[in-house]
Amino acid sequence: MDVIIEKTHALGRIRLNRPKAINALTLPMIEAIASALPDFAADPDIAAVLITGEGERGLCAGGDIRALYDARAHAGPHAEAFFRAEYRMNAAIKEFPKPYLAIMDGITMGGGVGVSAHGSVRIVTERTRMAMPETGIGFYPDVGGTWLLSRGPGEFGTYLGLTGDSFGGADAILAGFADYFVNSSQLPALIAALETLPATATLANIQDLVKGFSESHEPPHTPHLPEIDRAFAHDRLEDIIADLQASPSDFAKKTLAVMAQKSPTSMKVTLKLLRLARGSATLEECLEREFIATQRVVLSDEFYEGVRAAVVDKDRSPRWNPDKPEDVTDELVNSYFTIKLPKLFP
């Protein structure tokens, strides 16, 4: 079974179980999680739900993008079904009426963020490696990523969304993706303690329990926040790049080198999604917007070229078209926002 659903005393367990694929999400896995949530919510003997990943490598590496790549001939219908189910699940996690805990130990990226960072108690470790790396495969931060990234401090979320930069546990807390830092050696004891919770345990009870295992760490990105806030405050990608080019710092040079590898189209679409997300009142609004854009993504060559370079041929040399930000027109960017689809949340 790719997802193990079980009850341990008053704790509902969701265990992602594709360790060889770092628990990458498939449609049946998404459907299994979505089905388990209302059952756990209705069960009076369940106090909280905990999601974890099997194996040593991480919680979840994201959605199974190789499956989407292989289904290109039927991209529209297949992708619509996949993303519709996934985004509805993301919203259900956000609105889950009981404490929803996620242990983001190891790799937690893309769709892995969607099954964890919308929860109410989000735990990272010294092994956590998080990212919303979608601009590197011709995509954009989804699974409600635009909601999360637009609500971090200053422009940190804009930086993370455009660059796809990976970050550890302390930075995840800084960005608003997590709440508590627990050393990985303490996880078995923490889970054992959670399994002894009474059915009457409240969110405050659980937060107090987790705090007893947590520790504090300085986010590595803290020294760079002033430069990030300045450079990434612009609403045009070209202005962000120009600002970084004018900076003499090593951080700016490194950031420019990273952005040079990303899809210019994806970065522009991401920036627009992030700015629109700042004006959104709910996660659902952002998911609706992301859902519309997915259908443009899977009908374009950009996504398949990105997956080819990263996953299929693994040459890490995508040939983006257009390959320069200044050649990505407003018309092209706007085409990601105009496809008509039945709403996710009528």
273: left (phi over 0), alpha (psi -120 to 50) or beta: alpha
Is 154 catalytic? The answer is no
- Per residue in 101-134, pLDDT (tens digit) is 999 999 999 999 999 999 999 999 999 999 999 9
* 322 burial via Cβ count (<10 Å: 0-12, 13-18, 19+): middle
| pLDDT for position 146 | 98
Q: Which two tokens stand for residue 18?
A: 């594709």
* C-alpha distances out from residue 239 to 148, 231, 279, Å: 23, 8, 21
* Annotated active-site residue in 86, 105, 142, 302: 142
Of residues 64, 86, 134, 179, which has the active-site annotation? Answer: 134
Active-site residue flag, 331? no
**pLDDT for the residue numbered 69:** 86
Q: Which of 111, 152, 157, 161 is catalytic?
A: 111
pLDDT value of position 79: 84
Instruction: Based on the residue annotation, tell me whether 111 is a catalytic residue of this protein.
Output: yes
Task: Give the whole-angstrom CA distance, residue 124 versus residue 146.
Answer: 20
> Cα–Cα distances in Å, from 122 out to 52, 211, 271, 333?
11, 11, 26, 34
Concerning whether 313 is annotated as a catalytic residue, the answer is: no
Percent of the chain with pLDDT over 70: 99
Q: Is 37 left (phi over 0), alpha (psi -120 to 50) or beta?
A: alpha
What is the structure's pLDDT at 67? 84
Q: What is the mean pLDDT of each run of 10 residues along the chain (346 residues)?
A: 97 98 96 98 98 97 88 75 96 98 98 98 98 96 98 97 97 98 98 97 98 97 98 98 98 98 98 98 98 91 94 95 97 95 90
Q: What confidence score (pLDDT) does residue 60 get?
A: 98
Per annotation, catalytic residue among 12, 62, 63, 152: 63
Q: How many angstroms separate the CA atoms of 115 and 227, rounded?
A: 31
**Predicted pLDDT of residue 76:** 64
